[in-house]
Amino acid sequence: MSTTQKPTVQLSLTERAGDEVKKFLAEEKVAPEAAGLRVAVLPGGCSGFRYSLNIEEHPASDDMVIESAGVRLFVDEFSAQYLNGTTIDYKSNFQESGFAFENPNASGGCGCGSSFTV
């Protein structure tokens, strides 16, 4: 009898990013014990791949579920390979605010900050 092990991913939110996600979870009025933030990598964007963040009521059956900064993160197997080691922060200044990705797998990116190459 062989067992297939699910891949793992190291992914984290800073405390500031976690606080922002918790605000979105509260606004969506989803059950906090089941809901979380889907973190995904999708083909597209100006550099080949783009990040996607969505509040979801529960993980898909094949998702990896990671807890970080008090938030459940849902990651599919395709995205995991590109997100391993990534830290998500929330930055805010006079000109803009939003989530920023520090991804050691990205070999390049573009000015928008939500698109990258590997």
- Which pLDDT tens digit goes with each residue over 58-71? 999 999 999 999 99
Residues 42, 114: contact at Cβ < 8 Å?
no
Count of CB atoms situated within 10 Å of the CB of 92: 10
Find, among 9, 14, 4, 5, the residue nearest to 65 by Cα: 9
How open is the CA angle 94-19-108, to the nearest 5 degrees?
A: 60
**pLDDT attached to residue 110:** 56
For residue 83, give both structure tokens: 């997100």
**Mean pLDDT computed over 19-23:** 95
For the chain, domains (ranges, CATH) are 11-117 (2.60.300.12)
Q: What is the pTM of this model?
A: 0.84
Indicate the average pLDDT of the chain.
86
